[in-house]
Every structure is written in structure tokens, then in C-alpha cells.
């Protein structure tokens, strides 16, 4: 059971062990939550890290790079990926929701109704 800090009464006292606090900080660091936004955007990933980030098998990622289907960098026979570019690549594949189609249809019809 979790209790939000905001919901604690003013007289409540919270005690943390050093180990728990270090584990929490380590988890935040691994998630990138402690990284400034600028550093997160330019974060460079290895093949293994990029595959994990994209939830792909390593071989699948290699296949995408050989087809030049995914953004990557090559230096000294090693592949590198920018996290922000991978995220943009994933978002390129976003499928429109029905509401977006409906909005486009209404916009199109209104524009063409005025042109008649």
C-alpha cells in the first residue's frame, strides 16, 4: 500500500535508510530522471541500449540499420543512436486515431463548401 506524502498528517515522521535512498537515487539515475532535459535529448545509446529502449532484438535493430530504416551513427565500426532521434523515429509511425480522421474530414468539407 502506498501513501502520498501530501496525504500524511503534519505530525508524521518519515524515516529512510541510507540503502533505500541510494537505491532510489540509482533507479532515478538509470531512468534518466535526474539528467537535465538537454542531456536526455542528446543521450547517445549503444546497440544494446537502443535495442532495449525500442524493445527490439539486437539482430532486428542491426537489420533496420542495414536498411537505413532507423537513424544511427557509425564511428570506428561501432553503431550509436541518439535517444531523441529514436523516439522521433518511433513517433513517425504513429497511426491516426478516428477522431483525427473525423477532424480532417470536417476541415476538408468546410474548406470545400466555402470554395463553391
Per-residue pLDDT of 47-95, as tens digits, reads 999 999 999 999 999 999 999 999 999 999 999 999 999 999 998 887 7
From the CB of residue 45, how many other CB atoms can be counted at a distance below 10 Å?
A: 19
Residue 59 confidence (pLDDT) = 96
pTM, rounded to two decimals: 0.52
Residue 103 confidence (pLDDT) = 83
Residue 1 confidence (pLDDT) = 61
Residue 36 confidence (pLDDT) = 61
Residue 39 confidence (pLDDT) = 59
Contact between 57 and 48 under an 8 Å Cβ cutoff? The reply is no
DSSP state of 27: H
Cα–Cα separations (whole angstroms), residue 97 to 17, 92, 93, 100, 107: 47, 14, 12, 5, 16
pLDDT tens readout for residues 6-58: 777 788 777 878 888 888 888 877 776 666 655 555 689 999 999 999 999 99
Residue 13 confidence (pLDDT) = 78
2, pLDDT greater than 70: no
Amino acid at each position: 500500500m502506498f501513501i502520498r506524502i501530501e496525504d500524511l498528517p503534519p505530525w508524521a515522521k518519515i524515516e529512510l535508510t541510507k540503502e533505500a535512498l541510494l537505491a532510489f537515487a540509482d533507479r532515478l539515475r538509470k531512468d534518466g530522471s535526474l539528467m537535465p532535459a538537454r542531456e536526455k535529448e542528446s543521450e547517445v545509446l549503444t546497440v544494446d541500449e537502443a535495442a532495449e529502449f525500442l524493445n527490439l532484438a539486437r539482430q532486428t535493430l542491426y537489420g533496420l540499420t542495414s536498411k537505413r530504416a532507423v537513424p544511427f551513427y557509425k564511428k570506428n565500426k561501432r553503431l550509436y543512436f541518439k535517444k531523441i532521434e529514436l523516439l522521433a523515429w518511433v513517433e513517425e509511425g504513429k497511426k491516426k486515431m478516428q477522431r483525427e480522421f473525423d477532424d480532417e474530414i470536417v476541415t476538408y468539407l468546410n474548406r470545400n463548401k466555402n470554395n463553391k
